[in-house]
Amino acid sequence: MRDCTQFYIDGQWVDPVEENTVAVENPATEQTIGHISFGTAADVDKAVVAARRAFEGFSQTSKEERLTLLRAIQAEIETRKEELATAVSDEMGAPLSLANGPHVGLLAGHCQKAIEVLEGFAFERLDGPTLHVWEPVGVVGMITPWNWPLNQIACKVFPALATGNTMVLKPSEIAPFNAYIFAEIMHAAGVPAGVFNLLNGDGPGVGEAISGHPDIDMVSFTGSTRAGIAIAKNAADTVKRVAQELGGKSP
């Protein structure tokens, strides 16, 4: 039984602003396998404040510093592969062979790819008399689905980290435990406080607060078309960047 009722904000595990504990079940057995807390807009505010504060320094780090950080994360992933696979199997009802193979493998693979791309990426390029400069976006809100959860976290977190952004992640409330282990990996690897923040909740509670938050500069969402439409509308008032991968093909 896993009880993961705290959130990872500003480099430490903290209690939610309001107590609201929800059970998580294994869909293969329909048995309760643990509990999480549902956050509120107040929890999102705390995470965004931490991310905004951390962005000031992290956005100025060198490529070499961020490569060192990604390699440290890569090493920590190797030590937690078995735990990650067990969590994915339990919360998704996936066979252990699938969890141990593609699910955890994609997490490690995306980290390696981020390292390779960053090694060869030039953030300043001269085109005749014009200098093109690639700068970090800022604070990125990330909302990920239950299917292929580690893959979707990796696709959002590693590119953001590689390019000097800070982030607030809301994983699926249906498959949340792999994200808790991922947060522990980030902490153990020495990711600076506030750069990566994690909290749980549903779409109307936490997802809506993230997509409409005035101090979040970009939202990256993977999920249903229905939710994607709501996120785009909610983000419009603050004119933030919105990147979406929509489907609804995996009921």
Tens-digit pLDDT profile for residues 172-197: 999 999 999 999 999 999 999 999 99
Superfamily of domain 37-246: Aldehyde Dehydrogenase; Chain A, domain 1 (3.40.605.10)
Hey, where are the domains in the chain? 37-246
Question: How many percent of the chain have pLDDT more than 90?
Answer: 96
Q: What is the pLDDT of residue 247?
A: 80
Q: What is the pLDDT of residue 251?
A: 53
Integer angstrom CA distances of residue 11 from 181, 193, 231: 14, 4, 27
For the whole model, what pTM was predicted?
0.96
Structure tokens at 236: 């419009």
Residue 182: strand, helix, or coil: helix
Integer angstrom CA distances of residue 144 from 27, 33, 152, 202: 18, 20, 6, 11
Integer angstrom CA distances of residue 71 from 65, 86, 218: 10, 24, 25
Q: Which residues of the chain have pLDDT under 70?
A: 248-251
Structure tokens at 98: 């699938």
- Element (H or E) spanning 240, and its range? none
CA distance 142 to 210: 8
Phi/psi of residue 6, each to 5°?
-105, 165
Q: What is the pLDDT of residue 250?
A: 56
